[in-house]
Amino acid sequence: MRTALVIGTGLIGTSAALALSQRGVVVHLVDHDPEQARTAAALGAGTDEAPVGPVDLAIVAAPPAHVASV
């Protein structure tokens, strides 16, 4: 696995992104609040830039009631 997309950069999403980044995976971060994604990126969880193409893994780290709409 080389690339991942994490949608939702709260505690769970950022933790997953940090674990992936530490293993050499290029992680793209998306959040409904762009400042949250920038904060996660500043912590080393990945980049808040959109992926150029398909990613190998997508993680939806949103509250269960919002997963379908995300």
As assigned by CATH, the class of the 3-66 domain is alpha beta
> In whole angstroms, what is the distance from residue 27 CA to residue 57 CA?
9
Backbone φ/ψ region at 6: left (φ over 0), alpha (ψ -120 to 50), beta: beta
Beta bridge partners of 6: 29, 59
> For the chain, which residues make up each domain, given as ranges?
3-66
pLDDT tens digit string along 5-58? 999 999 999 999 999 999 999 999 999 999 999 999 999 999 999 999 999 999
> In whole angstroms, what is the distance from residue 54 CA to residue 68 CA?
20
